[in-house]
Structure 1
């Protein structure tokens, strides 16, 4: 039997107190599940029914159509799953038609939209449902619709608040001036958490075209970091054109990379786009058996991606300003070295040569001559340093050795001294581009940590391509050792976890130990990976 919650019969006067109490109970909370449970309990109590349940579709699908009177307890009109809360008679917990006899069914509406259905079954006294039952359930259904509407608004507000908090966390991470890769990892982790996904990925344009996976947050181990989606891939084309892509089942979609999509179902691929410029892509992939994304979730995820893109663009501009400040400082240092230091050293050398000519003692002339030679060597070294300071990054070749030297030279400005370096083996010929790129990022992080935390007066950088990894594979080992204060007991230097994660994604490892100070003082950071 189906009823409408519109105007109709009037509850019996004896039932009015119970009905008012029930209405207060139904409308007393905002949590969706607890509200539905109260609806079931109240409806069963009012109608003296053994079983009561509420089937809700609206939280999964916007604008769900109302079922016809002959559809009874099917999944729903579109074949979508219904979330049942409460108790149904044995044998009818799942989808499928059930006999109408002994059942009372009433739709729940909010502003004309069908949200769900009351289902009451089996009067406790064994008789049929009467007019009083229908009247009370009709009134209760109307109040339940209002309560459900409030609960939906509350849940939507909480959901939006979570996404806003996530956007704030992403913006803070990107603009904090820390490691860029760590900030992108925050973007991936927040996207996965907020969308209830199994994996979150950040992709940026690759040098050779297409999109490179630069950050992965996943519930399961993933080897996706560093993989490149080729430019001819359909998905990459859509993303680079600024188009969002919604995939119902990633594992079976031919446009997806099979190695990445295996085991995943509903997936959002959103462009990171700001000011008409596509900076990359944000991917949120749910498990294969997970529910699809609703329209509201798609909208919130798209807004989150836009906010992340804006923060990414601002962070890029901030890094450009910082780089410009560094280059300006390097130019100033180079000018001072050339105009002041070299001229004074040259003048000192001239004075020493004059003193050498006037000296009558051979041992004095010999000692002064050695001092002049040392000054000449010093002047040549300073001129080499000036040349390095005046060069921009684009003027360096792409070899690993030169990139390491570039990082060392750039670190010399904030450190106040230049770290020493040593290369072991054919560095430029055996290390692949992916490993080289990650090694440079690890070196940058280690030097940054040393500057911020070590209070060191000496740093030694070693790149060894003759190393053997734990499994005896050949690989490259980076060691950055300082003579600073070391790592406090129970503390961990910022970025060490990121170094380890980066190494493990390539099949390597990272750790730290005693440094190069006296009696083992300081810190030595080791990072290694296969070629």
Structure 2
């Protein structure tokens, strides 16, 4: 029986093991050329490939080349990854000056076969990482868009995240113009974005026809492609232009240009970018719908406040007018003075109600109030559902600046309790809340006084003599 053992098998095993020790593709290629040079005694080894993910033709050396491969004293074998020829493994200039042997070629073929497996694994790993980055980017965009912000912030979020994930020089959003073209409205760049925003694609451009039809456009070199007509095209090289559309609605276009000379986008990157654009477009639509609902809520709340304000002002002015008419028919000086005093009080109270209503109109209902006045109004609004009407509130003095946070907290607690007690009383049709930051306490100190008055049946609670109940709370400032 002949000896089938291949000489140099232990070094081959070492080489085979070494090429599969890393999942990064550039590092794997370096391991391959290192192993090939070590295994055959070559002074020069290189891998050339046309893989677009490796910046065109990648040549990795272990020593200075003796000239162009293919001269005397060279050896080359193809590297097969599945059914595809990934590239070629070159050797040159064997140490000692001799030619490469048949054994060297046999070892190199064995190494190339293992290299194909290692490269395939590295590709799968890079694809998985690429998918993960795009998925994380899409999730981050969705989260950011659905947690608030303006329309301009939403577009910048999409442009910025896409630029980072795609490793692009810029992330650009274009939107349709009234003239039928498209204009850059948002740009996220690493460098100076000057001159980018405002650039337009004129109506009728072949690129625009594709985009308006919902088709992505892929460009190898923006600076030289005749389809590109913007004045900033000379800054960029490979690019993707992706329609942002959802449910047949075209929101705009996401463009991701790379610098001139950068590697082109791979088919995998193009596919993932299209999916990202679809997800971002859906998030933009949902964010716009959420903002529309919030605006509607604001308008509805303002309509309610306007109705309340109208009823309150009309009632008080009518009552004041009746008092003044009655005063004209009475000649008693004391009665006239009392009536005029009450009329003045009613007018002052009406002015306070109008000021409070105007303040409420300025507060979007979806926003948590941060001012003291806003927190008081939130408490009165909170009890309105149980009462069927909203208590009135008026403020005297600089309540925002005079009332410290600790006192404000105690006052709000007292207000909450008073409103809850008033809501439980029978026949309550009106509650008046007054906060006076100019009050003087019995001991002469400056203070704040909270008064909550309702017109409900007093029962055993004790009243104030006018068929209602008044709760008073006060504190020094």
Query: Which TM-score applies when normalising by structure 2?
Result: 0.69
In the other structure, the counterpart of 1:307 is: 279
Q: Distance in 2 between matches of 1:457 and 1:209?
A: 49
Task: Pick closer, same or farther for the CA change 1:243–1:181 going to 2, 3 Å.
Answer: same
Q: Distance in 2 between matches of 1:293 and 1:330?
A: 51
Structure 2 SS opposite 1:272: strand
Q: What's the CA shift string for 1:261-302, capped at 9, x where partnerless?
A: 231112211110111211111011111222222222211111
Q: What's the CA shift string for 1:304-326, capped at 9, x where partnerless?
A: 11111111111122222222222
Q: Within 5 Å, give how 1:252-401 maps onto structure 2.
A: 252-340=224-312, 342-355=314-327, 357-358=329-330, 360-361=332-333, 364=337, 367-368=340-341, 371=344, 374=347, 378=351
Q: Distance in 2 between matches of 1:204 and 1:161?
A: 28
Structure 2 SS opposite 1:83: coil
Q: Within 5 Å, give how 1:351-500 maps onto structure 2.
A: 351-355=323-327, 357-358=329-330, 360-361=332-333, 364=337, 367-368=340-341, 371=344, 374=347, 378=351, 411-414=362-365, 455=371
Cα distance, 1:355 vs structure 2:
4.4
Structure 1 gaps, min length 5: 1-9, 62-79, 390-407, 416-450, 459-482, 486-531
Matched, 1:20 2:13: yes
Task: Pick closer, same or farther for the CA change 1:175–1:125 going to 2, 3 Å.
Answer: same
In the other structure, the counterpart of 2:422 is: none
Structure 2 gaps, min length 5: 375-399, 403-477
Q: Distance in 1 between matches of 2:153 and 2:337?
A: 60
Structure 2 SS opposite 1:100: coil
Q: Is the 8 A contact 1:454 1:484 kept in 2?
A: no
Q: Distance in 1 between matches of 2:129 and 2:27?
A: 16
Cα distance, 1:114 vs structure 2:
0.5
Task: Pick closer, same or farther for the CA change 1:57–1:230 going to 2, 3 Å.
Answer: closer
Q: What's the CA shift string for 1:424-463, capped at 9, x where partnerless?
A: xxxxxxxxxxxxxxxxxxxxxxxxxxx66863759xxxxx
Cα distance, 1:344 vs structure 2:
4.2
Matched, 1:221 2:196: no
Structure 2 SS opposite 1:45: helix
In the other structure, the counterpart of 2:460 is: none
Q: Distance in 2 between matches of 1:206 and 1:375?
A: 52
In the other structure, the counterpart of 1:87 is: 62
Structure 2 SS opposite 1:262: helix
Q: What's the CA shift string for 1:77-133, capped at 9, x where partnerless?
A: xxx9311123354464xxxx5443111101110112101211111111110111111
2:87 counterpart (104, 113, 116): 116
Q: Is the 8 A contact 1:89 1:121 kept in 2?
A: no
Q: What's the CA shift string for 1:173-207, capped at 9, x where partnerless?
A: 11112233222212111111122211111123345
Moved more, 12-21 or 108-117: 12-21
Structure 2 SS opposite 1:135: helix
Matched, 1:58 2:29: no
Q: Distance in 1 between matches of 2:217 and 2:330?
A: 85
Matched, 1:151 2:122: yes
Q: Distance in 1 between matches of 2:360 and 2:202?
A: 35
* Total equivalences in the alignment: 374
- Structure possessing the higher radius of gyration over alpha carbons: 2
